[in-house]
Amino acid sequence: MAVASPTARRKLGIELKTLREAAQLNIEQAAGTAGISDSHLSRIERGRVGVRLLTLRALLRTYGASEEVAQRLEQTAADTTKRNDKDWWQPYASTISEKYASLIAFESEATSIKAFGPWAVPGLLQTEDYARALLRNGPARLRPEEIETRIEARKSRQAIFDQERPPSGWFILDEAVLRRRVGGPEVMSKQLRHLATVAQRPHVDLQVIPYAAGAHAGSLGPLVILGFAEGDDVVYCETYAGDLYPEAVAWYGDVFDRLAQDALRRSESLLLIQSAAEEL
């Protein structure tokens, strides 16, 4: 099953937001004139949902868009509904959630990636054996073939850091991630050594929040913030209830900044990771 690219929806949303701001209208004014709810327009601008042609035309009239701009954006809107089978992750679409597929698509275009792992190593930093042990004992009861498919997808995701111009990565881990022996001592030792290697890459910042820091702002769980050259970050959260793309992006950015304040410096974090590996 192919999945429409969420990045196309996001680009359309950014253009619509630019037009609205140029017309000096706030969300409430624009939504009211177009006959939709404030929350729905907000989701359109953030690329969370597509936009119907009638709604798009109402918005463009509200913004006073020229005929040339209207025709271009109508074509862009039509493109967002197309299935793009050239995306590398499409073969995995039938075995992963649509929102997880969206995360992968967003990652491929992001210029910066921030992730917090409270209980496990973030997927972009996992070794194959560590990922396999997590999936075998995770909340979903996956068949062996499903596990292997997800591992292949995860390995393909990690290739973005091997690009000529990789995105910047900033990862924060709770010390519990280093101490929990996922897959046993050998698997965990290999994972920790991999983290130590990644931490020394020039485009990656890796920090650890030590137990001594006590309670911190990351109690809600794993968090990913994707940044883009044109602005408007995307937030992705994994929960037991399902994957989420929260609207309160600024709030989650503040959470990440507070986590960074509680974390050890890069050099101290590296020493802690290496020490944990040696203990195994």
Q: Could you give the C-alpha distances from 28 to 32, 34, 40, 49, 54, in angstroms and in order?
A: 6, 10, 11, 18, 19
For the chain, the structural domain boundaries read 6-80, 90-279
Topology given in CATH for the domain delimited by 90-279: Endonuclease; Chain A (3.30.870)
- Which one is the CATH code of 6-80: 1.10.260.40, 3.40.50.150, 1.10.150.530, 1.20.1200.10? 1.10.260.40
Going residue by residue through the chain, which has 280 residues, state the pLDDT in tens, using 9 for 90 and above. Answer: 445 567 778 888 888 999 999 999 999 999 998 888 988 898 888 887 778 888 899 999 999 999 999 998 888 888 666 555 445 556 665 666 667 777 888 888 899 999 999 999 999 999 999 999 999 998 888 899 989 988 998 998 999 998 889 999 999 999 999 999 999 999 999 999 999 999 999 999 999 999 999 999 998 899 999 998 877 788 988 876 667 777 778 899 999 999 999 999 999 999 999 999 999 8
- For the entire predicted model, the pTM comes to 0.79
Long-range pairs for 119-123: beta carbons < 8 A, 24 or more residues apart: 119/174, 119/176, 119/177, 119/180, 119/221, 119/222, 120/177, 120/180, 120/182, 120/222, 121/173, 121/177, 121/191, 121/195, 122/171, 122/173, 122/222, 122/224, 123/154, 123/157, 123/158
